[in-house]
Amino acid sequence: MALTLKQKQVYDFISAYWQKHTLAPTQREIKEHFHLKSFGSVQRYINYLKAEGLLSNDWNVRRGLKPLPRLAAQEGEIPLLGLIAAGRPIEPLENPQNVRIPSDLALHALDHGEQLFALRVRGDSMIEDGILPNDLIICKAAQNARKGEKVVAVVDGEATLKHYIPHKNSIELRPANQSMASIEVSPEQHFEIRGIMIGLWRQF
């Protein structure tokens, strides 16, 4: 998984400290630098970074932390959450598995504190944008979007991939297929954005 912004900041602080002093900051220095309330918070950040392969730790040394190359991002694995309709809306599947994506895209997400996920496309309502059935779309988790962006949206419990077009009193989810009509979302309906499409991965 990509790091959150604060997780990346902790990793960057430890890395910069190492480059300057050739040793790691203490947990107290990390706590004070980020104004954390407890050493437990420091431990949670350290444990996550260790689990992601970004830190090693010599438990017998006071300054035993050591930043490692960003192996998790270089491996380029993100969760495949299931199927998304580019036609009739359907709910993404549960029980995610991991899929590989280009390492430069994963590293970009890591640098920007973004969390990525993938969905497999069903339907042909986005074919004029070059999004075909069975394509793998790569999305960053988000709750807001700009006008025109391709979003993973949930309307009354059903998810779909469409262009996000907000209006004064409604939301239009516009397909990229002239033979299909937009989905009009009224204020009475439950609507939320789950992610923004940032890439596409197709195997031939």
Residues serving a catalytic function are: 125, 162
- The rounded distance, in Å, linking the Cα atoms of 201 and 141 is 17
Nearest C-alpha neighbor of 50 from the set 31, 21, 72, 32: 72
- The rounded distance, in Å, linking the Cα atoms of 82 and 78 is 12
Q: Which residues does residue 138 pair with via DSSP β-bridges, in sequence order?
A: 118, 199
Q: Give residue 20's identity as a one-letter amino acid code.
A: K
Please, are residues 192 and 89 in contact by the beta-carbon 8 Å criterion?
no
- The rounded distance, in Å, linking the Cα atoms of 6 and 95 is 27
Nearest C-alpha neighbor of 3 from the set 153, 137, 106, 94: 106
- The rounded distance, in Å, linking the Cα atoms of 83 and 122 is 7
